[in-house]
């Protein structure tokens, strides 16, 4: 996403928001106008920044840990056909359980601190990263496989020099999804039980009928997610370029 596109989308969203407020005549305690939310954000900028920092740390930790765990799992599944047959169906089955329903249990097990929110973020991004990277590891050109066999390359060398570089674009796709899902996991954990974070601030503002502050917190969360998605998207593009360069080297 380019900066100009983001700015145009933001202006369009604000215009639609203001139009809805004007056309429906909704009271400000139901749907505040954009300028009211801007005022609330300015007057409460200190508390918003403090809670946004907490949520940001939770999201980043969850993203890093979930990515590492998912990538290692995908590599293990690709190395062992037995593990793939046994574990992959289990991973798919776990997606039938709503991750959001686990939030109360995670809060009970890990407490009301940051740990339960990080674990929630890890759980919500673990499967997308694992599935995307594993799919990339499995999609190797048959010619490269035949070349590796003719050169007596072991499976670990084949994994390191062929499969992993070839699967980096898939990992990049998984990371893009993870960048969007991780904030969702962290905020849901904060909704269930927390004393800090944007999710906590939203509940606090809603309970005190400060709907403009609630909207301001929501917009800050959305902006954080967009920034994270852009940063991860650039990383994914670099992974794709590196994979293309590695493929040319192998073909030579």
pLDDT (tens digit per residue) in 125-152: 998 899 889 888 888 766 666 666 666 6
Please say whether the beta carbons of 116 and 105 come within 8 A.
Answer: no
156 pLDDT above the threshold of 80: no
Tokens at 51, concatenated: 């809670």
Find the mean pLDDT for residues 240-250. Answer: 60
Between residues 209 and 161, the one the model is more confident about = 209
- Mean pLDDT of the residues in the chain: 83
- Is residue 134 within 8 A of residue 71, CB to CB? The reply is no
Express each pLDDT in 174-228 by its tens digit. Answer: 898 899 889 988 898 888 887 889 999 999 998 888 899 999 999 999 989 988 9
* Both tokens assigned to 178: 């993870």
Residue 249's pLDDT is 47
pLDDT in tens, 62-95: 999 999 999 999 998 888 888 888 887 888 777 7
pLDDT computed for residue 213 by the predictor: 92
Q: pLDDT value at position 64? A: 93
Q: Which residue has the higher pLDDT, 170 or 62?
A: 62
CA distances from 232 to 66, 117, 161, 173 (A): 14, 21, 24, 10
For each of the domains in the chain, give its residue range(s) and CATH number, in order of start: 42-251 (1.10.3720.10)
pLDDT at 221: 93
pLDDT (0 to 100) of residue 93? 79
Question: Over 90: is that where the pLDDT of 52 sits?
Answer: yes
């Amino acid at each position: 996403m380019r900066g100009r596109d983001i700015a145009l989308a933001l202006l369009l969203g604000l215009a639609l928001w203001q139009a809805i407020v004007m056309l429906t005549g909704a009271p400000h305690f139901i749907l505040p106008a954009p300028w009211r939310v801007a005022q609330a954000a300015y007057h409460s900028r200190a508390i918003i920044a403090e809670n946004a920092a907490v949520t940001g740390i939770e999201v980043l930790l969850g993203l890093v840990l979930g990515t590492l765990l998912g990538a290692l799992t995908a590599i293990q599944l690709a190395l062992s056909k037995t593990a793939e047959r046994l574990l992959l169906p289990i991973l798919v089955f776990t997606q039938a359980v709503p991750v959001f329903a686990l939030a109360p249990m995670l809060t009970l097990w890990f407490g009301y601190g940051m740990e339960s929110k990080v674990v929630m973020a890890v759980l919500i991004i673990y499967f997308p990263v694992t599935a995307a990277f594993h799919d990339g590891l499995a999609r190797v050109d048959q010619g490269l496989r035949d070349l590796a066999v003719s050169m007596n390359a072991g499976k670990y060398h084949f994994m390191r020099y062929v499969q992993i570089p070839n699967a980096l674009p898939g990992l990049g796709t998984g990371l893009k999804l993870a960048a969007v899902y991780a904030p969702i996991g962290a905020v849901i954990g904060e909704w269930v039980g927390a004393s800090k974070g944007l999710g906590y601030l939203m509940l606090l503002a809603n309970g005190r009928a400060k709907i403009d502050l609630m909207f301001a917190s929501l917009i800050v969360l959305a902006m954080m997610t967009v920034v994270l998605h852009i940063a991860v998207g650039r990383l994914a593009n670099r992974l794709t370029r590196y994979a293309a360069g590695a493929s040319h080297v192998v073909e030579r």
